[in-house]
C-alpha cells in the first residue's frame, strides 16, 4: 500500500521503516530538512537498534520529504506521528497535531484514511481532529475520508522489535472500510488485533503507560520500606512477581522512571482527569514517588559524606535507561540539580548520553571515562544500569562511597556500598 507518515521522529520513522520492510511504499514528511536528507541517504537520524540496517534495506520503498502535498498525493493512508509534548501545567500540547491536521485537510482529494498514532488524550480524534479535517477540507468524515486511532507501544531502544512482535495491535475505527484497511496494512505481523472505537484506543494507550508507571512507583515505595528494614526489594519482588495476576515485569525498583513517555503521559492524564473535575489521587502519588526517589540517593550519600559542598561527587549514567542517548526526564537531572544546589562539584559520565546532558548542565565536568570520573571523588551515584557499570574499579576514589540506584553493582568489596532500595 502507499502510506504517508507525518512526523519522522522515533515513532514515525520506526513505523515507516517497519511498514516498508513489510512491502508497503512509504513517504515520510518532516519539517526538519536535515533529518529528511539523512533518511533519503539511508542514514538513521536517531539512535535506535537495527534502524540503520532497516533503512538501508528498504531504501527503494521509503523516502522522505518536507512537502506534504507530495506525500498526500502519493498515498491513500496517512499516519499522524507528530509529537504531543507537555505544557508547563502538564496538560497535552496539541499544536503539532492541529497544524498537521490542517495540512492534511487542505490536501485531501479522493477518499483518504487518516490514522492517529501520536499519543493523544481520549476524545482528541473524535472531538478535535475529525471536526478540523471536515472544516478545512469541506468534506464529510465517513463519506469522503475516515479517521482512525492506532496507538503505539514502542520502547526506545527496542522499538523495531516491539513493532514487529507486539503483544497486541489496537485499532480504533468508526467504519468497516477503515477497519479492514488497517488490518490489511498489519497483515504479516503475528499479533491479536483489538478493534475498538478511537476514544477507547486513546484511553488504552494512556492506561497502559499509567499502569506501568504505577507498578514502578509501587515497587519504589515498597523498596523504600525494604531499605528501612535492611532487606533487598528484589528478593521480595521476585516472589511477588511470580503471581500470574501480578507478573514480574516493571517491578524493578530504583531511582524511578524517565523518558519521553511515562512522565509526560501520567502528567497529561492527571491534568485531563482534573479538567473533568476528578481528583487523581493515585497518579499524583505515582509522580510524587518518582520525583522524590532520586533525591533519596543524596540522603544516603550524606549519611557517609555529611557535607558535600565543594566535594567531588561522581554521577554514572545520564540516559533515562540503557541503550539510548535519550536524557528526557532522566532521573539523573533532578539528582544533579540537587547536588549543584548543595554546592557539590559534579563529574558525570555516560557511554553515549553526555552530549545531550551538556545541553542541560553545560557547567559540570564530563570526563571521557569512568576512571577519570571517579578520580579523587568522595561519592559515586549510579543512575542508569549500563552493563559496563556492573564491574567498576572504584579504587581511584578518595572515599569509595557508592550509592547504587539501579541494582547493578555486583561486587561490594573495598567500598562503602548503599543500595537505594536494597
Ligand atoms: C515506554 C513504554 O514501555 C512503551 O510501551 C511506550 O510506548 C513508551 O514508553 P520507554 O519510555 O522507551 O517505553 O521506556 P521503558 O523501557 O518502558 O522504561 C521507562 C522508564 O522506566 C525508564 O526510566 C526505566 O529505567 C524505568 N523502569 C522500567 C524502572 O524503573 N523499573 C522497571 O521495572 C522498568
For the stretch 224-235, pLDDT in tens is 999 999 999 999
- Are 405 and 382 in contact, with CB atoms under 8 Å apart? yes
Question: How many angstroms separate the CA atoms of 188 and 136, rounded?
Answer: 35
| Confidence band for 410, pLDDT divided at 50, 70 and 90 | confident
pLDDT at 201 over 80: yes
pLDDT at 412 over 90: no
For the stretch 59-76, pLDDT in tens is 999 999 999 999 999 999
| Confidence band for 355, pLDDT divided at 50, 70 and 90 | very high
Choosing from 224, 237, 261, 420 the residue with most ligand 1 atoms within 8 A of its CB, the one to mutate for a pocket test is 261
Question: How many angstroms separate the CA atoms of 333 and 267, rounded?
Answer: 18
Give this prediction's pTM: 0.96
Stretch among 52-61, 156-165, 408-417 having the lowest mean pLDDT? 408-417
- Cβ of 321 below 6 Å from ligand 1: yes
Choosing from 213, 241, 259, 328 the residue with most ligand 1 atoms within 8 A of its CB, the one to mutate for a pocket test is 259
For residue 261, indicate whether it is catalytic.
yes
pLDDT at 411 over 90: no
Grid coordinates standing for 323?
541503550
Rounded to the nearest angstrom, the gap between the alpha carbon of residue 228 and the centroid of all alpha carbons in its chain is 31
Q: Which pairs from 392-399 meet CB under 8 Å and 24+ separation? A: 392/316, 396/371, 396/372, 397/314, 398/312, 399/304, 399/305
> 18, 81, 226, 261: which is the annotated catalytic residue?
261
pLDDT at 409 over 80: yes
- Cβ of 262 below 6 Å from ligand 1: yes
- Atom 27 of ligand 1: nearest residue by CA position: 257
Atom from ligand 1 closest to the CA of residue 320: 23
| Confidence band for 202, pLDDT divided at 50, 70 and 90 | very high
For the stretch 270-289, pLDDT in tens is 999 999 999 999 999 999 99
The pLDDT score that the predictor gives to residue 154 is 97
Amino acid at each position: 500500500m502507499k502510506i504517508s507518515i507525518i512526523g519522522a521522529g522515533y515513532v514515525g520513522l520506526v513505523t515507516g521503516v517497519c511498514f516498508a520492510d513489510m512491502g508497503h511504499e512509504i513517504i515520510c514528511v518532516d519539517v526538519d530538512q536535515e533529518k529528511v536528507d539523512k533518511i533519503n541517504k539511508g542514514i538513521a537520524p536517531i539512535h535506535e537498534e537495527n534502524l540503520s540496517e532497516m533503512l538501508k534495506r528498504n531504501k527503494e520503498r521509503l523516502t522522505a520529504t518536507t512537502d506534504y502535498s507530495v506525500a498526500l498525493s502519493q498515498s491513500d493512508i496517512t499516519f499522524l506521528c507528530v509529537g504531543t509534548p507537555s505544557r508547563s501545567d502538564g496538560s497535552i500540547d496539541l499544536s503539532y497535531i492541529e497544524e498537521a491536521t490542517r495540512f492534511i485537510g487542505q490536501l485531501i482529494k479522493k477518499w483518504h484514511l487518516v490514522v492517529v498514532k501520536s499519543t493523544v488524550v481520549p476524545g482528541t480524534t473524535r472531538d478535535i481532529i475529525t471536526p478540523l479535517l471536515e472544516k478545512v477540507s469541506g468534506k464529510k468524515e465517513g463519506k469522503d475520508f475516515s479517521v482512525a486511532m492506532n496507538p503505539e507501544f514502542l520502547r526506545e531502544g527496542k522499538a523495531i522489535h516491539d513493532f514487529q512482535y507486539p503483544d497486541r495491535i489496537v485499532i480504533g475505527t468508526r467504519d468497516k472500510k477503515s477497519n479492514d484497511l488497517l488490518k490489511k496494512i498489519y497483515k504479516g505481523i503475528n499479533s491479536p488485533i483489538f478493534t475498538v472505537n478511537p476514544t477507547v484506543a486513546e484511553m488504552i494507550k494512556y492506561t497502559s503507560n499509567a499502569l506501568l508507571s504505577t507498578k514502578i512507583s509501587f515497587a519504589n515505595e515498597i523498596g523504600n520500606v525494604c531499605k528501612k528494614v535492611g532487606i533487598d526489594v528484589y528478593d521480595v519482588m521476585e516472589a511477588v512477581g511470580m503471581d500470574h495476576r501480578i507478573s514480574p515485569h516493571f517491578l524493578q525498583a530504583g531511582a524511578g522512571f524517565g523518558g519521553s513517555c511515562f512522565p509526560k503521559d501520567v502528567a497529561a492524564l492527571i491534568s485531563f482527569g482534573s479538567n473533568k473535575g476528578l481528583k487523581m489521587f493515585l497518579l499524583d502519588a505515582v509522580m510524587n514517588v518518582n520525583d522524590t526517589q532520586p533525591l533519596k540517593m543524596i540522603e544516603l550519600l550524606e549519611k557517609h559524606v555529611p557535607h558535600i559542598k565543594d566535594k567531588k561527587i561522581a554521577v554514572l549514567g545520564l540516559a533515562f535507561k540503557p541503550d539510548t542517548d535519550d536524557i528526557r526526564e532522566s532521573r539523573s537531572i533532578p539528582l544533579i540539580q540537587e547536588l549543584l544546589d548543595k554546592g557539590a562539584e559534579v563529574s558525570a559520565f555516560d557511554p553515549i548520553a553526555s552530549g545531550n546532558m551538556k545541553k542541560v548542565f553545560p557547567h559540570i565536568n564530563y570526563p571521557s571515562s569512568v576512571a577519570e570520573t571517579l578520580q579523587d571523588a568522595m561519592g559515586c551515584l549510579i543512575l542508569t544500569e549500563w552493563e559496563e557499570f556492573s564491574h567498576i574499579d572504584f579504587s581511584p576514589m578518595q572515599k569509595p562511597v557508592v550509592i547504587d540506584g539501579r541494582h547493578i553493582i555486583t561486587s561490594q568489596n573495598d567500598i562503602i556500598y548503599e543500595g537505594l532500595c536494597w
